[in-house]
């Protein structure tokens, strides 16, 4: 019944739009009050600004987990999050069937950016490896300013699929080069790029940053410089060698919202803008089966969405669409046959397991040192498990006569990371079924101008095609 009512609503809204616009074109009032007709036509004017948000790897379990993670324990109810109050539907994620039913981020982003399904690894190309126009490119052709803000390197799969065309996502240097080399009518495709990527833009064989600067771009490499960038001048900001640090470990809290605020300040103009925002590292948390890091990334994204909500209130001609390219890790909130999930540990922790592992690789594992890093007291069993991992790793290397101490430390670090993640999983009763992607549908959220277009079950290519339509294609 709900599905039929939803479809009926969508059909009714589209019919209403068509009738009102047709009558307006003929100069006929839809009712006795001409002001009502004017208001109806204005309602269906295309959005001036479009903000496309991708929570990479953010399947439905992440949304539910975040709700409980943020729950106020002093109230009787479980409060809604920014995700809950803007949920409008879902999306399938399968790539071109040559790659089966489980997508990677490149094919997923290509579907979201072009409206065309392609093979896993494809960056803005179809199954024949031919370039396909992206919504960002089309928006640029319409005179809008464009930008990308991500927490990965800016030439990673998702941003690349909006800005570039390449047969393989692994061609990172080629993709970075294309950002400078490939123009639209002699113009750069983007006005703002913020994220990581020193490794690819400050290379021995090509200093892309200098080339961008010579072409009029501002270059910044510290978050603090976001407050002092020159208005109405394109900017490239790179804040890490590859991806940014985990949200919980980064030098400023909520770095995604800080970057997006700066980007919108740069992009705001009379013709409007198209902005891609990616919470890239939700996916990385899923791949690592790291619930602590994943919830930190979800919180970082949520804060950016709350800013977008306020922006839309002040700029109602803006559309915000939020979805995921796929889900990662097979996250289970309530595992091991036990009917409970306990996020209390996650609320307490101030650093990721990787950060803690890095510190404990060098420092002694004591009740005092771990209390500072975990922000709670470990049990004797947990302390023993960590000591066993560390001592066993170094003793094994010593027995083998291995002189490569750095390599020994790296192995110990990895084992400590696993052990710390296990502590978090055990305390919360979190489960994982995979270290890779899954084929499940993902949620779709939308608010602002024309957000009703995304109600119901979408195919991932529908999202791009609806945006193309709203852009006038």
Q: What amino acid positions are annotated as catalytic residues?
A: 105
Main-chain phi, psi angles of 138, to 5 degrees: -65, -40
Q: In 154-267, where do the E strands start and end?
A: 192-196, 218-220, 235-238
Alpha carbons within 13 A on the beta-carbon side of 182? 17
Rounded to the nearest 5°, which phi and psi values hold at 192?
Answer: -140, 135
Question: Is residue 184 helix, strand or coil?
Answer: strand
Alpha-carbon Rg for the chain in angstroms:
24
Rounded CA-CA distance 351/375 in Å is 9
Residue 187, number of CB atoms within 10 A of its CB: 11
Distance CA 406, CA 401 (A): 14
DSSP secondary structure code for residue 223 in this structure? G
CA 171 to CA 162: how far, in whole Å? 15
Residues 6+ apart with CB under 8 A from 169: 104, 105, 106, 121, 122, 123, 156, 157, 160, 175
Distance CA 35, CA 42 (A): 10
How far, in Å, CA of 26 to CA of 375, rounded?
68
The residue assigned the tokens 């002093």 is: 74
Q: What is the C-alpha to C-alpha distance for residues 55 and 347, in angstroms, rounded to an integer?
A: 21
Gap between the Cα atoms of 331 and 406, Å rounded: 33
Nearest-5° Cα angle at 377, 376 to 380: 150
- CA neighbor of 302 nearest in space, from 78, 59, 82, 56: 82
């Amino acid at each position: 019944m709900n599905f039929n009512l939803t479809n009926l609503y969508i059909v009714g809204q589209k019919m209403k739009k068509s009738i009102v616009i047709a009558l307006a074109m003929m100069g006929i009032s839809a009712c006795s009050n001409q002001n009502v007709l004017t208001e109806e036509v204005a309602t269906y004017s295309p959005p001036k600004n479009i903000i496309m948000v991708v929570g990479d790897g953010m399947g439905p379990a992440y949304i539910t987990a975040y709700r409980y993670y943020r729950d106020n324990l002093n109230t009787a109810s479980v409060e809604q999050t920014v995700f809950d109050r803007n949920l409008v539907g879902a999306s399938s994620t399968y790539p071109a069937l040559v790659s089966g039913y489980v997508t990677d981020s490149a094919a997923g982003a290509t579907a979201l950016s072009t409206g065309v399904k392609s093979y896993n690894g494809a960056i803005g190309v179809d199954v024949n490896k031919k370039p396909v126009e992206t919504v960002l490119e089309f928006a640029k052709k319409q005179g809008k300013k464009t930008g990308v803000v991500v927490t990965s390197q800016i030439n990673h799969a998702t941003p690349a699929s909006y800005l570039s065309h390449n047969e393989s996502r692994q061609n990172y240097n080629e993709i970075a080069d294309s950002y400078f080399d490939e123009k639209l009518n002699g113009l750069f495709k983007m006005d703002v790029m913020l994220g990581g990527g020193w490794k690819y833009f400050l290379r021995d064989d090509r200093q892309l940053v200098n080339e961008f600067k010579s072409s009029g771009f501002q270059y910044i490499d510290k978050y603090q410089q976001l407050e002092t960038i020159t208005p109405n001048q394109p900017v490239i900001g790179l804040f890490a060698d590859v991806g940014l640090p985990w949200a919980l470990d980064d030098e400023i809290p909520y770095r995604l919202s800080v970057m997006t605020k700066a980007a919108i300040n740069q992009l705001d103009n009379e013709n409007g803008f198209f902005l891609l925002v990616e919470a890239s590292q939700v996916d990385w948390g899923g791949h690592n089966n790291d619930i602590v890091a994943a919830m930190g990334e979800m919180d970082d994204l949520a804060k950016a969405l709350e800013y977008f909500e306020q922006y839309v209130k002040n700029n109602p001609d803006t559309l915000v669409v939020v979805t995921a390219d796929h889900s990662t890790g097979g996250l289970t909130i309530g595992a091991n046959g036990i009917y409970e999930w306990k996020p209390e540990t996650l609320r307490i922790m101030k650093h990721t397991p990787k950060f803690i592992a890095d510190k404990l690789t060098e420092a002694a594992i004591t009740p005092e040192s771990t209390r500072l890093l975990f922000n709670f007291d470990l049990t004797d069993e947990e302390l023993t498990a960590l000591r066993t991992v560390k001592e066993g790793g170094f003793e094994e290397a010593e027995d083998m006569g291995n002189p490569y101490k750095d390599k020994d430390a790296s192995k110990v670090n990895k084992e400590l990371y696993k052990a710390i993640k296990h502590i978090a999983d055990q305390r919360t009763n979190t489960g994982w079924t995979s270290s890779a992607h899954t084929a499940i549908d993902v949620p779709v959220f939308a608010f602002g101008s024309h957000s009703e277009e995304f109600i119901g079950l979408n195919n991932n290519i529908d999202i791009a095609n609806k945006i193309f339509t709203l852009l006038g294609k």
